[in-house]
Structure 1
Amino acid sequence: MSDRDRLTFQLSYGDCDAMGIAYFAIYYRWMERTYTTWLYSHGLRSGDLEPDLGVVTVGVSSGATYHRTAQVFDELVCQAVLDRVGTSSYTVGYEFTCEGDLVTRGQMTYACRDETFAKTAVPDRLAGILRTLPSPRFDVP
C-alpha cells in the first residue's frame, strides 16, 4: 500500500443522516475521489484518457456492502484495491476502514471504449498502472 492509493477523511454532519450515521451514498463520492486521485498520481486524468490512451472509460457497475456503521467524526480510510483486470474492463475495489476494522466494501467496474464508443481493450499502460494497486485485504462477498 502507498499513500497514492488511499484517502483518509473524517465524517462530518453533512455526511450523515439525522441519527449521525454515515449516509449510504456518501461512500460513492469517496470511491470516485480515491480512484481519480490515484489515477492522477500516475499522470492520468480520468476525463482525458482518450488523448492519452486512445480510450474512454465508462462506469458500468458499482456496489457497496455495509459491514458496520460509521458515525459523525469517525476517521475513515478508503483504500483502493485491484479486484480484476479483464480484456476490455476492470474492477477497482474500495475498502473503507475505521481503526483497522472494515466498515464498507465497495467496487466500481469500468469498461473501455474507443472513439466510436465500441468496446476496446484495456490499454497496456492502464493495465500496468492498475496492477500496482494492492490486493484486497478482507475476504468478503
Structure 2
Amino acid sequence: MVHEFPVRVYYEDTDMGGIVYYANYLRYIERARSDWVRTLGVDQNAMREGDGVVFVVRRVEADYLKPAKFDDALLVRTVVKAVTGVRLIMGQEVLRGADLLFRAEVTVVCIRADGAPARLPANIRRRIH
C-alpha cells in the first residue's frame, strides 16, 4: 500500500538560502504518516484513550538528496516496509514531480502513558497488512 500526501512549501519553511530548512522535511513526513493513519480509520485519540497507547518515532534514518524551494509543490510518499508485534517500519520519500528530494526510513513503536513500550494494537496490525 502506498500513501501519497501533497505538501506546498511556504516561505516560513525556508532558510536564509531560500531552500527548505532540513528539519521541515521531518515535519512533512510526520504529517503524511498522521494522514496515512487517519485514512486507515485509526483514531489516535481513541487509541490513546481506549488502548492506553500512542505512536512514537523510535528511529529515523534520512537522506537529503536535492533542495526544495519556496512555493514548490511536493508529494510525500509513504510505504510500509515491515510490521512486527512491536514496531512499524516505513519508507518515506519527498518528491517534486519526478525528482526525489529526500528519503527516510522511520521506525514507529507504541508506548503506554508511563513511557513503557507496548505492542502495536492487533486491530492496527490487521489494517496495515
2:34 and 2:128 map into 1 onto residues whose CA distance is 12
Per mean C-alpha deviation after superposition, the further-off stretch among 119-128 and 81-90 is 119-128
Shift of 1:73: 1.8
Code of the residue aligned with 1:49 in structure 2: it is M
**Cα gap change, 1:116/1:70 in structure 2, threshold over 3 Å: closer, same or farther?**
closer
Which is strand-richer, 1 or 2?
A: 2
Code of the residue aligned with 2:93 in structure 1: it is E
Match of 1:46 among 44, 47, 55: 44
- Counterpart position of 1:100: 98
Query: Quick one: percent identity of the two aligned structures?
Result: 26
1:113 and 1:23 map into 2 onto residues whose CA distance is 30
2:11 and 2:86 map into 1 onto residues whose CA distance is 40
- Counterpart position of 2:81: 83
1:94 and 1:54 map into 2 onto residues whose CA distance is 27
Shift of 1:81: 1.0
**Cα gap change, 1:52/1:108 in structure 2, threshold over 3 Å: closer, same or farther?**
farther
Code of the residue aligned with 1:9 in structure 2: it is V
Find the residue that maps to 1:32 and give its secondary structure. Answer: helix
Shift of 1:72: 1.5
1:90 and 1:116 map into 2 onto residues whose CA distance is 21
Code of the residue aligned with 1:111 in structure 2: it is V
- Counterpart position of 1:59: 57
**Cα gap change, 1:114/1:16 in structure 2, threshold over 3 Å: closer, same or farther?**
closer
Is the CA contact (8 Å cut-off) linking 2:42 and 2:124 kept in structure 1? no
Find the residue that maps to 1:68 and give its secondary structure. Answer: coil
- Counterpart position of 2:4: 6
Shift of 1:55: 3.2
2:31 and 2:9 map into 1 onto residues whose CA distance is 15
Is the CA contact (8 Å cut-off) linking 2:53 and 2:113 kept in structure 1? yes
- For the aligned residue pairs, the C-alpha RMSD in angstroms reads 2.2
Find the residue that maps to 1:44 and give its secondary structure. Answer: coil
Shift of 1:42: 2.2
Shift of 1:54: 5.2
TM (norm. structure 2) is: 0.83
Find the residue that maps to 1:26 and give its secondary structure. Answer: helix
- Asked if 1:68 is matched to 2:27, the reply is no
- Counterpart position of 1:15: 13
Is the CA contact (8 Å cut-off) linking 1:81 and 1:95 kept in structure 2? no
